[in-house]
Amino acid sequence: MRSRQVLPNFRIAIVGAGAIGLYYGAKLAHFGRDVHFLLRSDYEAVCKRGLRILSKSENIHVAKVNAYRTTAEIGQCDLVIVAVKTTSNSELPPLIAHLLGEKTIILTLQNGLGNEEFLAGHFSAERILGGLCFICLNRTEPGVVERFDYGRLAIGEFRGHPRPRLHDVAWEFKRCGVVCSVVADLALERWRKLAWNIPFNGLAVTAGGLDTAAILANDGLRQLALELMDETIAIANACGHRLPTAVALDLMKRTEEMGAYRSSTLIDHLAGRRLEIEAIWGEPLRRAQAAGMEAPQLEKLYCQLVRLDQAQ
């Protein structure tokens, strides 16, 4: 096994300057990693004031940020972290192309299903890693991210078993204060996260703008959340991913511990932004249908979200 002292010092590009991209990029930069941010609306503010992470347990300020308006200015990197909303996936191929060298790795931290497949279709499956962010974050103003709850990151290979390069990337996060684990089955873990995202991100919007505590306090919505979880778990199993039914109860317990958390989908909806409907609800529904399985609650929720999004 290689000594940790000789691990590569990755040149890292952050594509996507929302809460996730800014948080993990700032953590890496704060601990001395070579991080380069693609910034658009936040560019002026970040150049002037830097990046800040605020929470009860950490207060980080990265005063000097490698900020760019285009990926062509950044140039080739060893690791590209993709954190854009899935609604902007069509913009990724020309952006990422400027960042690629012969051995560049692409790690997507996006929500839902289909993102690794999309990137692999443009840049080959060999380059692609996927990550799941279990953390409560909000971007409260340009260059400022507030963390509301303890978080962790799980990363895996898009294809095949974990390789040394995956452990190298995980260690890069770990030595910068991020709780990061390597998963053997990325697809299974994506379904596990969807079992929470599908009900709580969706119901937060369709029920009229509710946080997680308000959803749980309503008996009807709490029951609907459980039904959506059970459907999601059943779809995962129908698609060949062994997800235990007990996952639902564990997720409900974790949600109770969150308090009054406003999901990222709710924040996007209230801000009038497009919702990540296809990645989080549409693609799981299509996979259920392809497996010959009915998912009435998911289908109903998906249709409601589409109508709300189109009305904005």
- What stretches of 148-254 adopt beta strand conformation (E)? 152-157, 180-182
CB 51 within 8 A of CB 26: yes
How far apart (Å, rounded) are the C-alpha atoms in residues 91 and 157?
23
How far apart (Å, rounded) are the C-alpha atoms in residues 170 and 205?
34
CA 141 to chain centroid: 19
Active site residues: 193
How far apart (Å, rounded) are the C-alpha atoms in residues 237 and 151?
27
User: CA of 245: how far to CAs of 9, 240, 267, in Å?
Assistant: 41, 14, 29
How far apart (Å, rounded) are the C-alpha atoms in residues 119 and 103?
15
How far apart (Å, rounded) are the C-alpha atoms in residues 307 and 56?
38
Spell out the residues 6+ positions from residue 168 whose beta carbon is closer than 8 angstroms to its own: 7, 8, 10
